[in-house]
Amino acid sequence: MITAQAVIEARILIVDDMSSNLRLLDNMLRGAGYTNITSTTEPKEACALHAEHRYDLILLDLLMPSMDGFAVMEALKALEPDGGPLPVLVITAEPKHKLLALKAGAGDFVSKPLDFAEVLMRVRNMLEVRLLQLKTRRLYEQVLAEQEAQKLLAKSLLDTQVAAEAQLIGHQRELARVVRAPERHPDLITNSDAMQQVISLALRVAQVDSTVLISGESGTGKERIARLVHENSTRANGPFIAVNCGAITETLLESELFGHARGAFTGAVQDRPGLFEAANGGTLLLDEVGEVSVGMQVKLLRVLQEREVRRVGENRKRTVDVRILAATNRDLHAAVMAGSFRQDLFYRLNVVALRLPSLRERRDDVLGLAYVLLADVNRRMKRQVTDISPFAIDRLMRYAWPGNVRELENAIERAVALARGTSVEVENLPEEVRDPVSTPTLVTGVVRPLEEVEKEYILASLRANGGNQTLTASQLQIGTATMYRRLKSYGLIEQRTPVPKGDEA
């Protein structure tokens, strides 16, 4: 088998006449841990570079003015000694070119616009198969050189080939399951319509300077969406500064946001600009803005209206050019009605509203996110846990994830730390994920039959108690006879056949 370390150390060449595409692909691959990457905008150089360095994978754009990808592949064939598939992953937006590229010798293709998850999956598939092919070739040459070991090496060759085919088929099925209709933005992984709509709106509002209020439960990725807005705005070259308003007291928050003059309070030994000034020309994210006190809300409102700040202990006003993004896990409209949040500040912040769905509302994203997080944790922890067992996947998909993506990330990190092999198993997951006996949650637009929910809860409780029916019935406050009838109706207890009279012992 090929190790994850061997895959990320593989030699990769990117060929595209557009430098912006080269940077995008280079950033994608380096973000996933690949380090041995070369790129060129000159397709004519591809063959010379491949002849010198023998790349394990070539990402090749098909449509280039000086020399198209088909001509490049024709030239590359002369460098393949066995005439097999080229180590080429073609990039094309034209469906008709995909089949032509495969016939021309390409190993696989990826469609434009590029999708982060799909690109990484295809690259990983091709590298593993290519490395296995190279290993097969070396074994075959060894067979020819060592006649006395021919039978043993032939068996190893066959095993390697079978493993390569099985692994390729497995990855293709995994890709079909995980990346069915992914959002076409490389920085976020999603299959759900709700999250795709959020990203689409975020990208549109990024082009204007409007204030944006981002709401959603803790762990849903509010700061990530804020960074997406900043990075796609005209302020992308300016600073992005985030401040957690709920983690700082009112006095310190005022100094943190607006700055202070020397001697304004004990410990203020020098003038210090605030975050509004530090973010000048860029974006300031007011995270957990719903936790700001009413007194501080007045001061924030004044800055948003006048675009001027005054440092604590100073009379001078300073003009600032800052885009404001705000994030909260609270219902600010309800807070306005309750009198704990100013209505005028709410309307000033809520120019464009982005509501992030919880992870239980986008269950199609759980598996894709899990694999992306798995790759990230492996890179950080220098582990080689590259897969998730089917039983572990089942638990991940059934759990409600009250802590959203942040909780999923913690669960994957724990699983990688505890895994003994190369796969995440059920026992590596947190207890609440392994045996989910949780409060039922309602996914938007999906109302399940009560009988189905009751069955799922009873069986989950039974599993949590190791199959002890008496204990489970006691905890559920139902009789043991009722428990027996329920399990019988679920087909878990066989119907007893009456014993004919006269046959009784």
Instruction: Say what the pLDDT of residue 444 is.
Output: 45
Contacts 24+ apart (CB under 8 A), 332-340: 332/213, 332/215, 332/289, 332/290, 335/290, 340/294
Q: What separation, in Å, do the N-terminal and C-terminal C-alpha atoms of the chain show?
A: 60
> Does residue 442 sit within a domain?
no
Strand ranges, E, within 383-430: 387-388, 423-424
My answer on whether 67 and 158 are in the same domain is yes
Instruction: Say what the pLDDT of residue 175 is.
Output: 44
CATH of residue 407's domain is: 1.10.8.60
Q: Which of 291, 321, 356 is the last residue of a domain?
A: 356
- Residue 249 CA to residue 240 CA, distance in Å, equals 22
My answer on whether 344 and 392 are in the same domain is no
What is the β-pairing status of strands 240-244 and 272-273? unpaired
| Chain mean position to CA 47 | 35
Burial 362-381 (b: 16+ CB within 10 A, else e): bbbbbbbbbbbbbbbbbeee
My answer on whether 283 and 249 are in the same domain is yes
- Residue 229 CA to residue 260 CA, distance in Å, equals 30
Residue numbers of the domain that contains 486 = 448-505
For residue 363, give Cα distances in angstroms to 26, 121, 338, 428, 457. Answer: 30, 20, 33, 21, 19
> Does residue 479 sit within a domain?
yes
- Residue 112 CA to residue 104 CA, distance in Å, equals 19
- Residue 170 CA to residue 175 CA, distance in Å, equals 9
My answer on whether 328 and 377 are in the same domain is no
CATH of residue 268's domain is: 3.40.50.300
Instruction: Say what the pLDDT of residue 192 is.
Output: 82
For residue 184, give Cα distances in angstroms to 180, 187, 197, 284. Answer: 12, 9, 12, 26
Q: What is the mean pLDDT of each run of 10 residues along the chain (505 residues)?
A: 82 90 89 90 88 89 85 84 76 82 83 84 86 76 63 61 54 43 51 87 93 93 93 93 88 86 75 89 94 91 91 88 94 89 93 92 86 90 90 88 92 94 93 70 59 80 77 85 85 54 42
My answer on whether 207 and 265 are in the same domain is yes
- Residue 31 CA to residue 313 CA, distance in Å, equals 45
Nearest Cα residue to 463 out of 395, 386, 367, 378:
395
- The token duo for 280 is 């000048």
3 state SS of 298: helix
> Does residue 185 sit within a domain?
no
> Does residue 183 sit within a domain?
no
Contact 207, 232 (CB under 8 A): yes
My answer on whether 464 and 369 are in the same domain is no
Nearest Cα residue to 437 out of 461, 455, 453:
461
- Residue 79 CA to residue 162 CA, distance in Å, equals 25
Q: Which of 340, 356, 372 is the last residue of a domain?
A: 356
Nearest Cα residue to 312 out of 263, 245, 241, 246:
263
The partner residues of 355 in beta bridges, in order of sequence, read 215
- Residue 417 CA to residue 385 CA, distance in Å, equals 9
> Does residue 187 sit within a domain?
no
Instruction: Say what the pLDDT of residue 181 is.
Output: 37
Q: Which of 356, 374, 401 is the last residue of a domain?
A: 356
Cis-peptide into 113, omega within 30 deg: yes
CB atoms within 10 A of CB 292: 23
My answer on whether 347 and 366 are in the same domain is no
Q: Is 183 left (phi over 0), alpha (psi -120 to 50) or beta?
A: beta
- Residue 485 CA to residue 228 CA, distance in Å, equals 54
My answer on whether 203 and 285 are in the same domain is yes
My answer on whether 225 and 329 are in the same domain is yes
> Does residue 51 sit within a domain?
yes
Angle between helices 480-489 and 450-464 (to 10 degrees): 110
CATH of residue 24's domain is: 3.40.50.2300
My answer on whether 371 and 352 are in the same domain is no
Instruction: Say what the pLDDT of residue 297 is.
Output: 92
Dmax over CA atoms of the chain, in Å, equals: 107
> Does residue 441 sit within a domain?
no
My answer on whether 395 and 483 are in the same domain is no
- Residue 24 CA to residue 149 CA, distance in Å, equals 48
Contact 139, 78 (CB under 8 A): no
For residue 481, give Cα distances in angstroms to 455, 467, 475, 498. Answer: 16, 16, 14, 19
> Does residue 255 sit within a domain?
yes
Domain count, the chain: 4
In sequence order, what are the residues at sequence separation of 6 or more whose Cβ sits closer than 8 angstroms to the Cβ of residue 293? 250
My answer on whether 345 and 378 are in the same domain is no
Contact 244, 287 (CB under 8 A): yes
Specify burial of residue 482 (Cβ count, 10 A radius: 0-12, 13-18, 19+).
Answer: exposed
Query: Which residue in the block uniquely carries the two structure tokens 């754009």?
Result: 61
